[in-house]
Amino acid sequence: MSEIRISTTRGGLALRKSKQLVGLKGRPATSPPEVGQRLLPDVGGFEVVSLPVARDVEEALDEVRQRPEVEVGTHVYFADHDNRPVVPTGIIYCTLAPGVGEEESQRVFDLFHLEVLERRPAERTVVLSATARSRNPLYVARQLEKLAMVSSAVPDLDVPLDQYFTEPRDGLFSQQWSLSNPGHVPGVPGYPTRRGADARVQAAWKRLGSLGSPEVTVAIIDNGFDLQHPDLSAKSIVAPLTISSGASTLPTGIAHGTHATPCASVAVAAANGTGIVGAAPRARLMPLHGLTYSAYLTERMFDHCIRNGADVISCSWGTVDPRFRPGTFHERAVRRAVTEGRGGKGCIVIFAAGNEGKHYLNYYCELPGVIAVGASTSNDTHPAYSNRGSGLSVVAPSDGGWPLLAARASWDPGHEHLPPGKRYYVDGRDRGPHHKHFGGTSGATPLVAGVCALLLSAHPGLTAAEVKSILERTADKIGDPGEYDVRGYSNRFGYGRVNADRAVAEALRLAGRPAPATPASLARTAFRVRAEDPPRSGFGLQVSAFRQAASALELATRLEQQFELPVVVAEAGGMHKVILGTFADAPSARKLLPRARELGYQPFVRDLSTLS
């Protein structure tokens, strides 16, 4: 392969030309006879195909370009130690030197046979497109950069990104433990879950008095939407888009993926009496097909969401490859959505933290204003696959324990190498042809998207920044309380596991609206502090101690909800000690130890008379 080094907004990138793969645009139903395998249907708007190995790729591509069914042909490249094809889209972002005028620059672009798509005077950037008379856009970009009137010329590239779901390890509403976890999954013997290890979505519906608002639109950006699925066919569909072509029709079939269907169902599956229910069943769905690294297509996808009224944008994909981390133009596209969407209140943009088990997040989580979502399990633990690190906002229930249940596309072949019973369900028990087990941060992300739709149902005036703040402030601290810092932040769990009920309660409070009447068990506020003095005698279980009162109060609230017992927060020596229960004698307190340990706590019996 011949090597070429190009500029990106993140620095230089070395690419080597493939000897066999090329990208073609044309009529998808036909294929030139020279084409071997059709590998990827859409990378930067090109279908990636193979040409005969024995032929010189330059000659073979020139020959294929002459075919009437081929509109455009391009070379395909690879970065070192990476088997993902890199495709130039034909777009070049050219930033002019200060003082260079339109007429002067146009003469240069004409010389290279480039079409001007857009001029952005504030950034001194011109968006250019290669034409049939242009040379290879990578070569053209390098030539432009040699000119004194050009500050930079960045060729737009696309590369397949990672979809963040986890493969299964080898009337369904009751099995959706992520919405309300009773401590077991009906019909799944011998696999206990932790009671309360859920996103509190069912409780949020009760507090809200509805399943959310039909005026809220959730955009899912992904590959493979089956909009005829029983859980999605009754949805109100808003402004569907195939990103690479700009078409309003979405492709179907296994070549175009299966991932979007389960993601959409976790967020917004309809409550229609069958199948499963999404976190925001009444919300509208805006499906955008096509995962893309291309900066130009990234701008198209987010601008489409802004123009067509997306409130929440869910992205269960990304990369941890630093060579393809999003650059300046990706960042501007997301910033526009977060600041200009929803009439200036900002779209809520959510990205999956990633499934690589890294100590850093999917690079798209670094973009301004993004809510970064990791995963938690059915036992409120951290799954090893979920990336961790600074920037993580919250976690949400997914697999690693018992997986989520989600819709599956009609063309989804499942895991064909597994026995028939386990192609879709980890326990081999058939739950019908329309669903499958699902997980990863791909499952956690649309769950949080649905929760955000419930917040906007409670308070449509919330800004994107306020929604992010509410999610973080109302999350449940799971795992070892000691791993949270003075801010209440953990690198594994962010600010905690999302709590839809508390988040909706806070949104209603900010809106100045009382919540509908609910049972007393659901009417607790986010932080309830007992006014009475701590008892001076008796025994309890000391669960933890914190220097920060807020951390102690968060744990106290959670313990009250889990055990329905009084919780004492006593301050002594600068520490706030959290004590569960008040019992007449130590043996009575000790009887509570097994249940507390089952829920992940490590308490000890405390004599309350020693607190003063």
Q: Which residues are catalytic?
A: 222, 256, 442
Torsions phi, psi of 310, nearest 5?
-70, 135
Q: What are residue 128's DSSP bridge partners?
A: 92, 116
Distance CA 209, CA 482 (A): 36
- Rg for the chain (alpha carbons), in Å? 27
Q: How far is CA 454 from CA 174, 273, 279, 312, 501, in A?
A: 21, 20, 8, 11, 10
**How many Cβ atoms from other residues are within 10 Å of residue 570's Cβ?**
20
Q: Smallest Cα–Cα separation from 22: which of 70, 92, 81, 68? A: 70
Q: H/E element holding 90?
A: strand 87-96
- Cβ density class 213-228: b for 16+ within 10 Å, e for less: beebbbbbbbbbbbbe
Sign of CA dihedral 545, 549, 550, 555: positive
> Which ranges of 112-148 would DSSP assign to H, the alpha helix?
137-145
The tokens for 467 are: 């929604």
Query: In Å, how far from its chain's centre is CA 522?
Result: 29
Q: Smallest Cα–Cα separation from 478: which of 245, 269, 197, 233? A: 197
Q: Which residue has the tokens 């433990």?
A: 177
Determine the 3-state secondary structure of 362 from DSSP. Answer: coil
Q: How many residues does the chain have?
A: 612
Q: Smallest Cα–Cα separation from 106: which of 15, 98, 96? A: 96
Q: Smallest Cα–Cα separation from 456: which of 448, 465, 446, 467? A: 467
The strand order across the sheet containing 539-546 reads: 567-572, 575-583, 539-546, 604-607
Orientation of helix 440-458 relative to helix 260-268, angle to 10°: 30
Sequence-distant (6+) residues with CB within 8 A of 155 are 6, 7, 88, 91, 92, 137, 138, 140, 141
Q: Which residue has the tokens 């519906």?
A: 205
Pairing label, strands 70-78, 46-50? unpaired
